Chains A and B, each alone.
Chain A
Amino acid sequence: MNSTLSRKRLPVGRGFLHLGLIAWSLAAVLPMVWMFSASLQTNQEIYQGVHLVPQTLNFQNYIQAWTQAKFSAYFGNTVFYTVTVVLGVVIFSSMAAYAFARLSFPGKNFFYLGFLIFLFIPIPGSFIPLYVILVKLNIINTRIGYILPLIQSSMAFSIFILRAFFEDLPKEIEESARMDGANLLQIFWDIALPLARPAIATIIIFTALNVWNEFTLALIVFSDQDLMPLQVGINTFQGTFFSQYSLMMAALSITTIPAIIVYVFFQKSIIKGIMAGALKG
C-alpha cells in the first residue's frame, strides 16, 4: 500500500510543493485578473494605485470600445473567420485524411509525404510570396483572401491527426457496408465520418483557438479596417489609445473572453489532446 502511494516522492514536503505551485498559479492568472479588474475601473482609479477590486463597477469602457472603437465590427469579423476556417478545415482535411487512411490510389504516399513535409519545414517570411499571390489572384484585402490561406495552413496538422484516427478505426463496419452495396462516398459520409467525431471535435477546438488568435496573416492581408479581425484591430487601437488604460483593458477583455470561455469548457479535452500528441510525436 505504502509503496504505491509514494510512487515518486520528492525529498521535499507537500506544503513546500503547494507553495511553489500556488505561487506559479498566481503568476499565471494575476496579469489577466488585473486586466479584467482594470477594464471595470476608471482611468483615474488605475493611476491611483494597484487594487484588484474596483471601487465601482464601471461598464462604460466596454460600451465605448464596442460602439465607438469598432470592436463590434472586429468581433463580428473574427467570429465569421473562425467559423468559416473551421468548417473548411474540418471538411477538406477529413476528406483527405480518409483517402490517405483507407483508399488506395497511385501516388498516395507521394501526396501524403508532400503534406507532411510542409508540416515540418519552417518557412519564416513565407508571408512575402503569399502576399504576392493574393495580389495576383486579386483577393488581397478581401475576406476570402484571408480565409483560404488560413484553411491551408491549418490543414496539414488536421490531416495528420485525422489520418491516424481513421486508421485506428475497425475496418469491419466499413467492409460489411460495402457488402451491403454502399458506395465509397456513402461509407465515408455515413459511417467513417460519424465515427471520427471525437477527433473532429479536437480539431475544431484547436483550429478555432488558432484562428481566433491569428495575427500575422491578417496584418498582411487587410488594409481595410472594416474587414480586420480582433487581433489586428486591437493592435491598431493600442497605437492611439494605449494611455487610456481602462478603455484599452476593456478592449483586451472583449478580445480574450471568448477564448477563455472556450478553454474553460473544453480544458479537459484540450489538455488531453496535447498530452496524447506529445507521446505519439
Chain B
Amino acid sequence: MEAGLTKPKRLILNFWENFRSAWSRRNREETLMGYLLILPAFILFLIFGVYPFYRTILFSFTNWNGISSTFTSVGLLNYQDAFTIDDLWWKAMQNGVFFAITALIFMNGIALALAVAVDQKIRGQSIYRSIFYIPTILSGVVVAIIWKWLYQPIGGPINQLLTSFGLGSLATAWLADSNTVLWAVAIASMWMGIGAPFLLFLAGLQSVPIELYEAGRLDGGNGRQLFWHITLPFLIPIATILSVLTILGAMQIFNLVLAMTNGGPGSATEVPVLHIYREAFKYAKFGYASALSMIFGILLFTLSIIQLWLSRKIGIRSA
C-alpha cells in the first residue's frame, strides 16, 4: 500500500524538481526555446493526429451518420454487426489477405532474386538499380489507369499482343472476369511496389562484410553454402521488417483498387479500406465505419507486434 503511494509521489516530486531547474535563470532560455520549437508540430499533431485517433474510438460506439448533430451510443452493436452480419467486410479482409500473401511470396521473392543478381559484381549495377525503382515513384492512381488500359479487352496492349502471337484464345476481359481480376490487380500492385523491397534487400546484401565470404571460401564453402550460411542470416532482420511492411501495405491497399476496379466486378476486389470508405461516405454510417477501422487497426497492430516478436526469437537463435 505504502509503496503504491510513494511511486506517483516520487514521480510528481521528480517532475517538480525538473521543472524548477528548467525554470532557473540558467536554463530558462533553453526550456522556453525548446517548447517554442516543438509548438507548431505539437499543435498540428494534436489537431490532425491525436484528436482523430481519439474520435475514431468514440465514434465506433455510436450510430452517428456523419451529418446530424445528435447521435446515440449503441454500445458494442457496431462491433457485433461487423463480426456477424457484414459478409462483405470479411470478403474484403479475405482479399486483403490474398494481396498480402501474393506480395510476400512473389513481390518479395522477385525482389530478393533481383537484389542478389544486382549484388553480383555485375556491369550496369547502378542502372539496373535506378530502373527497378521507377514504378515505385508513380502514384497508385496512375499505375491503376495505365494497367487498366493494358488489360482492356479491346484495344488493350496485352490482348493485342496475345492475338498477334496467335494466342488470341487466351485474350479475355481481365478486369471484368472475377476469375482473373484479383490476380490482375495484384500484378499491377506488385509491379508498382517491388522497388522498395528490392532496395532494402540490396542494402542488406551490401552490408555483409566481404571478409566473411573470404573466410567462408577458405573453409571450402561453395557459392550455395556461402549464401545459406552467411548471406541469409544477415538478411533475416531486413526480411522481417520487410514482411511487416509488406503485409501492412497490402492489407491497406486502396488507391489502386479504387481507381482500377472500384471493388468490382461485383465485390470480387473489395478491400478493407475501400469498404470503410464506402460505409462512411456513401452510406453515411460513420459510427459503423469507425468500428471497422478500429477492428482493422487493432488487427494490423497485433500482426506487426507478433511478427517483430517472432523475428527477434529467430534472430537470437540464428546468431
Contact = CB atoms under 8 A, between A and B. Distances in A.
Q: Do A and B associate with each other?
A: yes
B45 A114 contact: yes
A279 interface: yes
Contacts of B42: 96, 111
A95 B155 contact: no
B252 A104 contact: no
Interface stretch (A59-67, A147-155, A168-176): A147-155
Nearest to B47: A133
A153 B48 contact: yes
A151 B41 CA distance: 9
Contacts of A46: 155
B202 A275 contact: yes
Contacts of A31: 135, 146-147, 150, 191
A216 interface: yes
A196 interface: no
B289 A128 contact: yes
B132 interface: yes
B217 A3 contact: yes
B59 A274 contact: no
> Number of contact residues on B: which range applies?
35 or more
A5 interface: yes
Contacts of B157: 34, 50
Interface stretch (B76-84, B98-106, B111-119, B178-186): B111-119
A104 B161 CA distance: 65
A124 B37 contact: no
Contacts of B276: 124-125, 128
Contacts of B309: none
B24 interface: no
Interface string A82-101: 00000000011101101110
B283 interface: no
Contacts of A270: 133, 137
A121 B129 contact: no
Contacts of A28: 131-132, 134-135, 191
Interface in A111-136: 111, 114-115, 118, 121-133
B207 A121 contact: no
B176 to A, nearest CB: 13
A1 interface: no
B272 interface: yes
Contacts of B142: 213, 231, 234, 252, 255-256
Contacts of A8: 119-120, 208, 213, 223, 226-227, 231
A278 interface: yes
B282 interface: no
Nearest to B200: A278
Contacts of A252: 142, 145-146
Contacts of A127: 277, 280
A19 B38 CA distance: 52
Contacts of A271: 129-130, 133, 199
Interface in B119-146: 119-124, 128-135, 137-142, 145-146
Interface in A48-85: 49-50
Contact of B130 (A153, A248, A267): A267
Contact of B41 (A3, A38, A159): A159
A65 to B, nearest CB: 13
A124 B146 contact: no
Contacts of B207: 279
B131 A29 contact: yes
Given A34-B157, A124-B293, A278 B199 contact: yes
Given A9-B120, A17-B117, A105-B30, A267 B133 contact: yes
A172 to B, nearest CB: 18
A9 B139 CA distance: 36
Contacts of A123: 52-53, 56, 293, 297
B293 A100 contact: no
Contacts of B214: 3-4
Nearest to B201: A278
Nearest to B252: A124
A155 B45 CA distance: 9
A222 B308 CA distance: 38
Contacts of A234: 141-142, 145
A46 B156 CA distance: 9
7 contacts: A8-B120, A96-B38, A128-B290, A152-B48, A234-B142, A260-B134, A262-B137
Interface of B: 15, 18-19, 22, 27, 29-31, 33-35, 37-38, 40-42, 44-45, 47-53, 55-56, 59, 66, 110, 113-114, 116-124, 128-135, 137-142, 145-150, 152, 154-155, 157, 160-161, 164, 191, 196, 199-200, 202-204, 206-208, 210, 213-214, 217, 222-224, 226-227, 231, 238, 241, 248, 252, 254-255, 258-259, 272-273, 276-277, 280-281, 286, 289-290, 292-293, 296-297, 300-301, 304
Instruction: Please name the 6 residue pairs, one residue from A and one from B, whose CB atoms are nearest each other, closest first.
Output: A125-B293, A105-B34, A213-B139, A129-B52, A129-B55, A99-B37
Interface of A: 3-5, 7-11, 14, 17-18, 20-21, 24-25, 27-29, 31-32, 34-35, 38, 46-47, 49-50, 91-93, 95-96, 98-100, 103-106, 108, 111, 114-115, 118, 121-133, 137, 148-149, 151-153, 155, 159, 183-185, 188, 209, 212-216, 220, 231, 234-235, 238, 242, 245, 248-249, 252, 255-256, 259-260, 262-263, 267, 270-271, 274-276, 278-279, 281
